[in-house]
Chains A and B, each alone.
Chain A
Amino acid sequence: MATSSELTLSVRLFLKAYRWRKIAPTPWATLQKPLAQCNLALGSSAGFVLPSQEPFDDHYKGGDPSCRWIPTETSTSDLIETHRSKSFDHDGLQTDPNLGLPLNRMRTLKENGFIGSLNHRHVSFMGSITAPGKFTAKTAPAFAQSLVEDDVDIALLVPV
């Protein structure tokens, strides 16, 4: 697993003092059917945008709480990674965006029958949000409700 030793001293000090948001009580949805019949949506905190979309705002105090929809037919080569953090190596995401939004891998799992279907859209957001109030109160409930209306059964969320 990653350890804090890979982070800069200033980031380590920030994380040590940071007030993490504890999820309590823990919401818990259970599968009502096999994975092979489930419709899956992806979520990525890599800050991916498409060329036609507004980039995330690096200057937003506390982190840009907005999100972007990524159509499922998107080629991973069209994904632009805009994550603002300088505390990790971006080379992997530049080489293979599947590390942050595994569209190609999920297509394989769908073709193999491991999952039932890939939703027609997936959600991209900026992971580097130190003040998550707006994200928690507005953005996440809104995209969650949209995915409910899409008849999504399961979601995989990938941090960077």
Chain B
Amino acid sequence: MCNQTVSLAAAALETRGIATVVLQFMKDIALKVGPPRALLVPYPHGFALGRPLDAAGQIKVLKAALSLLERKDLNPPHLETYMEPLK
């Protein structure tokens, strides 16, 4: 349900002019709900940024997510896939 809840929060923020990016775990749910701008991560629930205490790996995910905000070529809703698997 978290996939949907963060997406609904994002919609409220976007409506008021705050650009958002949400992380998502499950592609089928992301497509059904349609968050405005999302990064699909290849990790299990509870591990949205990858491994615990892996600061470098987590920051890579965050940079990939935040970089979507600067893209001018996206059309809403946009779902990007992050490809870095857990090592």
A: which residues have CB within 8 A of B? 1-4, 6, 15, 20-24, 26-31, 34-35, 38, 40-41, 43, 45, 63, 85, 87-93, 95-96, 98-100, 102, 104-106, 108-109, 114-115, 123, 125-130, 132, 135-136, 140-141, 143-145, 147-148, 152-160
Beta-carbon contact of A96 and B5 below 8 Å: no
Chain B residue, CB-CB nearest to A33: B70
List residues of chain B with CB within 8 A of the CB of A88: 44-46
Least distance between A113 CB and chain B CB atoms (Å): 12
Known: A104-B55, A140-B12. A156 touches B66 (CB 8 A): yes
The residue from B1, B20, B69 contacting A63, defined by CB atoms under 8 A apart = B1
List residues of chain B with CB within 8 A of the CB of A99: 46-50, 52, 58
List residues of chain A with CB within 8 A of the CB of B20: 29, 154-157
Least distance between B62 CB and chain A CB atoms (Å): 6
Beta-carbon contact of A95 and B52 below 8 Å: yes
Least distance between B80 CB and chain A CB atoms (Å): 12
Number of interface residues of B (CB under 8 A): 62
Least distance between A118 CB and chain B CB atoms (Å): 12
A43 to B24, CA, bound (A): 13
Known: A30-B19, A127-B1, A130-B1. A35 touches B26 (CB 8 A): no
The residue from B5, B48, B65 contacting A132, defined by CB atoms under 8 A apart = B5
The residue from A27, A98, A109, A128 contacting B15, defined by CB atoms under 8 A apart = A27
Least distance between A105 CB and chain B CB atoms (Å): 5
A125 to B8, CA, bound (A): 12
List residues of chain A with CB within 8 A of the CB of B42: 1
The residue from A89, A115, A144 contacting B13, defined by CB atoms under 8 A apart = A144
